[in-house]
Amino acid sequence: MALHIRANPGDIAPLVLLPGDPGRAEWIAETFLENVRTYNTYRALLGFTGTYKGVPVSVQTSAMGGPSTAIVVEEIIKLGVKAIIRVGTTGGIDGRLEAGSLVIAQGAVPLDGTTRQYLEGRPYAPVADWDVLEALVGAAREAGSKHTVGLISTEDAFYATSPESAREWAKFGVLSIEMEAAPLFLVARMRGVKAGAILTISNQIGDTSFVDERILQAGVENMTRVALEALLKLKDRI
């Protein structure tokens, strides 16, 4: 049993979706999985295992930010997980991507402190695993889901980011900003596990007003279907 994910080897499937929000984890499990059982409730890091189209799949909450994500990812890998897809929300920059649209991350500029601590000052490029990236893009294309593949950035301080600072990153090709992908990519790579991320644009950076809930929910549903189909493609590559 791990310290925070109070589960045992065998409780978690090798293929995992990783949302930040425990409510989204529960919704994914209830909506898309069959024969669901809850393996963790400790600290609201809700974790569920079930089957999707007959294949064992787990949904594990990362909670918000790098510190929690790194703890969760380290522990689920110790418990036997082999491939992880983050299913998150992200803030777009300057309205280039509209609310509800999907971003598949090639890599994440590591602006967060968690990645910095692991790297001890080394320059590094946290990128998605190639098989996961290919599976996500393939699944999105097959579903006819409009998506953009590219660079995102991962930060710590949601309310410290301004449209002006985000715009500076856009000059270097950053599409959107979120809070978990860089440490996920780094820790997975260090431990020999596959990871990727697909995200739904939930707002524009600096504008914390909610987008229309129906638009956001449609994007999240679309993202989740694509991610689940991508996990199926990874089944024989782990």
Ligand X SMILES: O=P(O)(O)O[C@H]1O[C@H](CO)[C@@H](O)[C@H]1O
**Can you give the binding site for ligand X, defined by CB under 6 A?**
19-21, 64, 88-89, 158, 178-180
Residue 64, binding choice from ligand URA, ligand X, none, Cβ under 5 to 8 Å by partner class: ligand X
Determine phi and psi for 229, rounding to 5 degrees: -65, -35
Residue 20, binding choice from ligand X, ligand URA, none, Cβ under 5 to 8 Å by partner class: ligand X
Q: Of all residues in this chain, which one has the CB nearest to ligand X in the complex? A: 20
User: CB-based contacts of 50: which residues, under 8 Å, 6+ apart?
Assistant: 29, 33, 34, 35, 36, 37, 56, 57, 58
CB of residue 114 to ligand URA, shortest distance in Å: 14
Of 142 and 207, which has the nearer Cβ to ligand URA? 207
- The Cα 166–Cα 170 span in angstroms is 6
Residue 58, binding choice from ligand X, ligand URA, none, Cβ under 5 to 8 Å by partner class: none
Fill in the DSSP letter of residue 159.
G
Of 178 and 229, which has the nearer Cβ to ligand URA? 178
Three-state SS for 137?
helix
Taking each continuous run of H as one helix and of E as one strand, the counts in the chain are 7, 9
Pairing of strands 34-40, 47-52: antiparallel
CB of residue 64 to ligand URA, shortest distance in Å: 8
First to last CA, the chain: 23
Contact residues for ligand URA, defined by CB under 6 A = 89-91, 158, 177-179, 202-203, 205
Residue 177, binding choice from ligand URA, ligand X, none, Cβ under 5 to 8 Å by partner class: ligand URA
Residue 203, binding choice from ligand URA, ligand X, none, Cβ under 5 to 8 Å by partner class: ligand URA
